[in-house]
């Protein structure tokens, strides 16, 4: 067989391998042209990369008036080497599922870093007042039992590469407690997220937060701590609500029962780029303390209307709504498709419980909702609502299907 026939057959085989419907291979010119394409951009909101299967390649067959079919050898190409590089290219054997999985991992990594950097915006030293509430055995209501001035801080440790950095929280949930978070900890599955002015954190037996050597003694193994906070737009003031739940084992399964609630009002006295404190904590701050009590929860989640929930309104235009007890039996009902339990479903999403914080500072009113569908410290969503305080009484949220 002559060189012309051999080269013609090879060209036909290469062309057929790139036709739509012939998976696993692509013609050489398509692979070379792909290398000249600009690299796709990636942001937390969008990912412009498309799977290789979505690309269109056009192959023209039957053309014989070119140098490939002339029978003359061309020193610019080594046909065996070219064929080997074509059929042995590792990327050509990657399945669509593997490509999509790599895209998901890349997007997750980008989102982790985005969340990590949002938390890092609160780096610095904070001072304020902590008020602890406990459930009264007589009235069944939350009562103030202790009040003290406290401080906390957030540091960013690591090199210039954010992926190797760590967030170091001091006094995150109480005195002398130090928690360390990496970018991969800032995920809903681990109960740590930030959106707008709202943020939430947690630590429990299933949480992956690492305890530093200089941290305190281990907490009781059946303790679940979570925090829901709101910061001001200028990032100089914030409200943190810390809930301490005791995990119990019952006949129906594990449950959470509230031990205490802490309201922490703080002012950032020194940011991460300041060498000295530029502000001081002042208990006479009207936005934090001495204005009118909270007006309630602006948009109450349906699940929060259950009898196990309590609402606490305190001075400083602050309101908290939380469950006193959450049982795993609710989760079992959801898994069994208890569609008649309307409070457990919101827009088709399962919700076992919700913790809501409503705070008005200046002209704005903010609401943060930490919603969860299982008792492992994870969250199903963190939602933020913001509205002008004067508009909140005019534009009332729509009623749900139960008329509440």
Kindly state the greatest CA–CA separation across the chain.
102
Distances (CA, A) of 136 to 150, 224, 246, 355: 24, 21, 16, 20
More confident: 288 or 91: 288
More confident: 303 or 206: 303
**Structure confidence at residue 203 as a pLDDT band (50, 70, 90):** confident
- Listed in sequence order, the residues at least 6 apart from 178 whose beta carbon sits closer than 8 Å to its beta carbon are 168, 169, 170, 172, 211, 212, 214, 215, 216
* Alpha carbon distance 325, 256 (integer Å): 5
Average pLDDT, the chain: 75
* Alpha carbon distance 126, 119 (integer Å): 14
Dihedral, 184, 185, 189, 194 alpha carbons, nearest 10: -110
**Structure confidence at residue 330 as a pLDDT band (50, 70, 90):** low
Q: Tell me if residue 87 falls in helix, strand or coil.
A: helix
Contact between residue 320 and residue 241 where contact means Cβ atoms under 8 Å apart: yes
At 139 the pLDDT is 83
- The secondary structure of 238-305 as a DSSP string is EEEEEEEEEEEEETTEEEEEEEEEEEEEEEEEEETT-SS------TT-IIIIISPBP---SS--GGGG
Contact between residue 23 and residue 69 where contact means Cβ atoms under 8 Å apart: no
Best CA proximity match to 109, nearest among 70, 162, 156: 162
Domain range annotation of the chain: 3-94, 109-392
Contact between residue 316 and residue 290 where contact means Cβ atoms under 8 Å apart: yes
User: What strand order describes the sheet that includes 353-361?
Assistant: 309-314, 318-323, 353-361, 364-372, 381-388
This prediction has a pTM of 0.70
Best CA proximity match to 23, nearest among 93, 76, 90: 93
**Structure confidence at residue 178 as a pLDDT band (50, 70, 90):** confident
Best CA proximity match to 226, nearest among 210, 236, 240, 211: 240
Instruction: State pLDDT tens for residues 91-123.
Output: 556 788 888 999 999 999 999 999 999 999 999
* Alpha carbon distance 189, 143 (integer Å): 32
């Amino acid at each position: 067989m002559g060189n012309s026939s051999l080269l013609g057959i090879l060209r036909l085989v290469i062309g057929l391998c790139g036709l739509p419907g012939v998976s696993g291979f692509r013609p050489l010119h398509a692979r070379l042209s792909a290398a000249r394409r600009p690299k796709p951009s990636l942001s937390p909101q969008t990912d412009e990369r498309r799977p290789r299967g979505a690309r269109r390649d056009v192959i023209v067959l039957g053309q014989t008036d070119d140098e490939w079919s002339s029978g003359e050898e061309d020193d610019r190409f080594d046909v065996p080497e070219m064929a080997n590089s074509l059929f042995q290219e590792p990327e050509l054997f990657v399945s669509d599922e593997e490509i999509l999985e790599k895209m998901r991992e890349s997007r997750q990594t980008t989102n982790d870093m985005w969340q990590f950097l949002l938390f890092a915006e609160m780096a610095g030293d904070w001072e304020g007042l902590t008020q602890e509430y406990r459930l009264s055995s007589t009235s069944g209501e939350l009562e103030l039992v202790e009040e003290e001035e406290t401080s906390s801080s957030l540091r960013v440790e690591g090199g210039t590469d954010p992926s190797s950095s760590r967030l170091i929280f001091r006094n995150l949930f109480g005195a002398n407690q130090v928690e360390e978070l990496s970018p991969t900890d800032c995920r809903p599955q681990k109960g740590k997220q930030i959106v707008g002015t709202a943020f939430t954190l947690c630590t429990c037996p299933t949480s992956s937060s690492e305890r530093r050597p200089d941290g305190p003694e281990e907490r009781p193994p059946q303790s679940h701590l979570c925090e829901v906070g709101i910061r001001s737009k200028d990032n100089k003031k914030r409200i943190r609500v810390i809930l301490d739940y005791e995990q119990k084992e019952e006949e129906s399964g594990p449950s959470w029962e509230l031990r205490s609630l802490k309201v922490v009002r703080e002012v950032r006295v020194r940011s991460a780029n300041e060498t000295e404190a530029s502000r001081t904590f002042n208990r006479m701050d009207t936005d934090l303390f001495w204005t009118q009590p909270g007006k309630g929860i602006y948009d109450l989640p349906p699940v929060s209307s259950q009898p196990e929930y309590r609402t606490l309104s305190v001075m400083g235009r602050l309101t908290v709504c939380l469950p006193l007890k959450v049982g795993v039996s609710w989760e079992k009902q959801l898994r069994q498709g208890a569609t008649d339990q309307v409070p457990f479903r919101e827009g088709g999403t399962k919700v076992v419980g919700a913790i809501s914080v409503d705070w008005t500072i200046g002209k704005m009113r903010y609401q943060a909702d930490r919603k969860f569908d299982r008792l492992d410290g994870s969250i199903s969503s963190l939602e933020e609502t913001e509205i002008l305080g004067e508009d909140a009484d005019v534009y009332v949220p729509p009623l749900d299907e139960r008329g509440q």
